[in-house]
Structure 1
Amino acid sequence: MEGLNLIATALAIGLAAIGPGIGVGIIVSGALQAIGRNPEVENRVVTYMFIGIAFTEALAIFGLLISFMIAFGVIQ
C-alpha cells in the first residue's frame, strides 16, 4: 500500500501544478502584451498581474497540501 500512496502523492502535486503553470504563462503573456500596447499603465497592469498569479498559484498550493495529506496518512 505504501507504493500506491507514493504514486498518489506524486500524481496529486503533478497534476495540480499543470493548470497553474499554464495559467501563469497566460497571465504574464497578457500583461506583457498590455504593457507593450500601452506603457503608461504598467504599474496598474503589474499589480493586477501579481494578484492573478497569486490566485492561480493557490490551486497548486492546495494540490501540495493534498499531496502532504496523502503522504503522511491523513487521507487513506
Structure 2
Amino acid sequence: NNRYMKYKIKSNRYMKYKIKSNRYMKFKIKSNRYMKYKIKSNRYMKFKIKSNIYMKYKIKSNRYMKYKIKSKIE
C-alpha cells in the first residue's frame, strides 16, 4: 500500500511536470505565431520601402518630363 502511495505521488509529480511542459508548449506556439507576424510585418516594410523608392523614381521622372517640356518650349 505504501509503495502504491509513493507511486501515486510520483505520478502526480509527473502530471504536474507534464502540465508545465504543456504550458511551455503553448507559450512556444504563441511566440512562434508572434515570429510569423513579425516576419510578415518585415515583408510589408520591405514592400513599403520598395514602393517608396518607386515613388522617388516617379517624382524624378516627373521632374525630368517637366525639364523636357521646358527645353521644348525654349
Classify the TM-score, shorter chain: 0.3 to 0.5
Q: TM-score, normalised by structure 2?
A: 0.45
Higher helix share: 2
Q: Which structure's CA Rg is the greater one?
A: 2
